[in-house]
Amino acid sequence: MENIIYKLADIKDLDEIIELGNLLADFEITERGKDFWDKETLKNCLEQPDSGLIVCSYYDNNLAGFIIINKNTVFKIASIDYIFVLPKYRSLKIGKELYNMTIEELKKSSIKQLSITIEYNNKSIIDFFECRGFDKTLNMVNLDLKIK
């Protein structure tokens, strides 16, 4: 695993993160889909550490995956907006390490709760997070409204 590097993202990583993010059908969470974040939004996430966190992984200098966290340090809560590892790297446990590094970074921010919204039929990602202590909330419905 010496070819794998995990790091907090910085400005130099943004173009690759956006390129990868724009290719991913996995981000479509409603019938209308969900557009991946634009460069300015991601840049703000990096420049305002109280509002966001991006951890990325490189395999042989190629972006292999990333996780993007939306933080609210006032309320001590955070949510996983995106987690993705390219299919050819999934057997290397990169997702697990991205998650572990993210948890360590969130502890430094005094975050007390982390959540994620997942499609009900995405068994592999549900299993991934349940193995890490997440509980299903069966009595909630997620509704989205695009503000124009």
Would you give per-residue pLDDT tens digits along the chain (148 residues)?
A: 469 999 999 999 999 999 998 877 554 544 545 578 889 999 999 999 899 999 999 999 999 999 999 999 999 999 999 999 999 999 999 999 999 999 999 999 889 999 998 888 888 888 999 999 998 877 777 777 777 7
- pTM listed for this prediction: 0.85
Angle at 55 between CA 98 and CA 82, to 5 degrees: 80
CB atoms within 10 A of CB 104: 10
How is the chain split among helix, strand and coil, in percent rounded to 5? 35, 25, 40
- Tell me if 137 is assigned to some domain: no
- Asked, for residue 132, whether it belongs to a domain, the answer is no
On whether the CB atoms of residues 85 and 64 are closer than 8 A, the answer is yes
CB atoms within 10 A of CB 140: 8
How many structural domains does the chain have? Answer: 1
- Establish if 56 belongs to a structural domain: yes
